Chain A
Amino acid sequence: MPALYELEKAYEASKKDRGFQKELLHLQKTYIGRPTPLYFAKRLTEESGGAKIYLKREDLAHTGAHKINNALGQAILAKRMGKKRLIAETGAGQHGVATATGAALTGLECEIYMGSVDIARQSLNVFRMKLLGANVLEVSAGSKTLKDAINEALRDWTTNVRTTHYVLGTVFGPHPFPVMVRDFQSVIGKETKKQILEAEGRLPDYLIACVGGGSNAMGLFFNFLEDDVKMVGVEAGGRGIYTGEHAARFAGGSTGVFQGTKSYLLQDDDGNVLGTHSVSAGLDYASVGPEHSFLRESGRVDYTFANDDEALSAFDLLSKTEGIIPALESSHALAEALKLAPRLSKDNVIIVNLSGRGDKDVQHVARIKGIEL
């Protein structure tokens, strides 16, 4: 608890610290490459035959996903707090790569926890983290995926709290993480609003984003919450809700308290956390950011899911029609856009958060298709 209070205090101070804000803005611009483009996907729009589909190109951010927005913010904060070492959990590897990048940039030591199942399906990112000077620690406990990596990172943080900052990668965990991560990611929505006003002269009808822990979705949604814009969060339907092999917390879960957060949780009758499945490691998680639970309960945001197969088709389709290979996580959001667009008129506008690029998934997809590389 003292570590959380210390972090909360430092984070609140950083919001008012002009030096910190200036450094963050400067790095966002010159290092991450912000603002990322808002791209009108003309051929995808024609293909789906309905509403205009725009893509917020977080895949073009440095390191290939939105994760860097948060990791870099927290790395600078940790450095200012006098911490010597960064640790993080990672599922798909994108947050691990982003944290390793932030550590390299700020000159901090870095260790990344990753489940052994995820290490196997994201070997490219494991090697990237090593190249960036981070040590990757394999977690073979429990389901050997993201939740177990978070458990292990929390255990490490408890042990080394004096010297170490835990860069939690999503809008989850104990306060102040959900708020801090959302704020660092909210640059996505801030830019998107400006860009769509320039492109269309009006706000979009729909925002769509995939939801694992939910940081890219919160980042996109946050600045539109007060506007007349519909929003859809897309969870991982895995092999189908009825099979039990999925990570759709809203469709298949109930309220629980896990890893310091009260939110929707996939759990059994005794309160033990259930195993999850998704083709995408980044969505393969048993709980979801508490603010998403709030937005769902209040009815402000709709939550749905896309199955593995639907995400894989969207992955193929975007690659072929637009020349953009999306992350499997983002492919879930695309799958929902492809279902929604044909039901809307050609004047409607949908913005999909293309949260990451798919290079990391290429080997995994080849394996699923039975192709040897």
Chain B
Amino acid sequence: MKSRINRKFKEILNKKTKAFIPYIMAGDPDIRRTKELVGILEDCGADIIELGVPFSDPLADGPTIQKAAQNALDAGVTLHSVIELVGTLRNDTQIPIILMTYYNPIFKYGEDKFVHDASAAGVDGIIVPDLPPDEADNLIRLSRKSNFDTIFLLAPTSNEDRIRKVSKASSGFIYYVSITGITGSRLSMDSSIESHVARIKNLSGKPVAVGFGISTPEEAAAVSRFADGVIVGSAIVKKVGDTDEDLRGYLLSLRSAIR
């Protein structure tokens, strides 16, 4: 059976458009607001939603998402409660939802139980930025059995060996990190991103979404010319406290730029 994420990319391909993948931190500032935000994101044309799970030491994240994680931790949000949240959301929406979580919360939860509970709640896949595929055999095996997607990261420094390894380990899509750096850094658009993404698509035959550092509609438009999906995180996280009208305006401007 195809996963919800596979079906979504197929649908996008048929429509000759590109995926808009917004990221928000679950529980920033609280779970109630996250529920509202998921509705707003879907309304504004999101194809897949990436939900951050707060962690005390978010190594791959810049100051914006670090702060959001702290807000969520202060609100008492945990991996348990994020899985529960997705279960509740499933009463209202069937949009693909991916969790972005660091590895230790999964390790502590238990890989087996995590994959079971998360997929039962309606989570479609995971991104674990501090878990390289080299160490993920068990998690990948469990995930495949549950039709649960494992999305791994590639970076500008990844060589061909790495690309092959990550392609094999990834399902749903591959996450290309546009810069060497952390979330929320400034994007520097040069032709190397495009050629690198083309190479990955070629070698993997899987959809490639690009993230890290994309904040303006212009950047989103430029990336969507060659990527299958555009991930926007920190720039949206910065705006979750704005009025819904401003937030919707911004999301719609991203949506119309990604094509």
Chain A residues within 8 Å of B, Cβ to Cβ: 1-3, 141-142, 147-148, 151, 154-155, 158-162, 255-260, 265, 267, 269-273
Contacts and interface: CB of A to CB of B under 8 A. Distances in A.
A3 B57 CA distance: 21
5 closest pairs, A vs B, by CB? A271-B108, A271-B105, A159-B181, A272-B56, A270-B78
A142 B104 contact: no
The residue among B60, B108, B130 with the most chain A CB atoms within 10 A of its own CB is B108
Given A159-B180, A159-B182, A159-B185, A269 B108 contact: yes
Contacts of B55: 271-272
B109 to A, nearest CB: 7
B256 to A, nearest CB: 31
A41 B106 CA distance: 49
B245 interface: no
B59 A154 contact: yes
A270 B80 contact: yes
B162 interface: yes
Interface of B: 55-60, 62-63, 66, 73, 78-80, 103-109, 130, 132, 134, 157-159, 162, 179-182, 185
A259 B162 CA distance: 21
23 contacts: A2-B159, A3-B157, A141-B63, A142-B56, A151-B58, A155-B60, A155-B62, A155-B181, A159-B181, A256-B104, A256-B108, A257-B103, A258-B57, A259-B57, A259-B59, A269-B108, A270-B79, A270-B109, A271-B79, A271-B108, A272-B73, A272-B105, A273-B56
Given A158-B181, A159-B181, A265 B157 contact: no
Contacts of B157: 2-3, 161-162
B57 A151 contact: yes
B253 to A, nearest CB: 28
A271 B159 CA distance: 32
A267 B180 contact: no
B51 to A, nearest CB: 16
A284 to B, nearest CB: 15
Contacts of A161: 157, 180
Contacts of B56: 142, 272-273
A206 to B, nearest CB: 35
Nearest to A161: B180
B59 A141 contact: no
Nearest to A160: B180
Contacts of B162: 1-2
B104 A257 contact: yes
A307 to B, nearest CB: 25
Contacts of B66: 141
A158 B108 contact: no
Contacts of B179: 159
A1 B105 contact: no
A269 B130 CA distance: 19
Nearest to A155: B182
B158 to A, nearest CB: 6
Contacts of A269: 108
The residue among B158, B162, B180 with the most chain A CB atoms within 10 A of its own CB is B180
Nearest to B129: A158
Contacts of A159: 179-182, 185
Contacts of A141: 63, 66
A267 to B, nearest CB: 7
Contacts of B185: 159
B109 A271 contact: yes
B208 to A, nearest CB: 18
A273 B109 contact: no
B236 to A, nearest CB: 21
A141 B63 CA distance: 9
Contacts of B181: 155, 158-159
B59 A151 contact: yes
Contacts of A259: 57, 59
The residue among A1, A155, A162, A270 with the most chain B CB atoms within 10 A of its own CB is A270
Contacts of A257: 103-104, 107, 130
B160 to A, nearest CB: 11
Given A159-B180, A267-B104, 13 more contacts: A142-B56, A151-B58, A155-B62, A158-B180, A159-B181, A160-B180, A161-B157, A256-B107, A257-B104, A269-B108, A271-B55, A271-B79, A273-B57
Contact of A265 (B63, B79, B104, B158): B104
B163 to A, nearest CB: 11
B57 A142 contact: yes
Nearest to A258: B104
A141 B108 CA distance: 23
Contact of A1 (B79, B134, B180): B134
A171 B249 CA distance: 50
Nearest to A4: B132
A158 B182 contact: yes
A352 B3 CA distance: 59
A258 B132 CA distance: 13
Contact of A155 (B59, B73, B80, B106): B59
B165 to A, nearest CB: 9
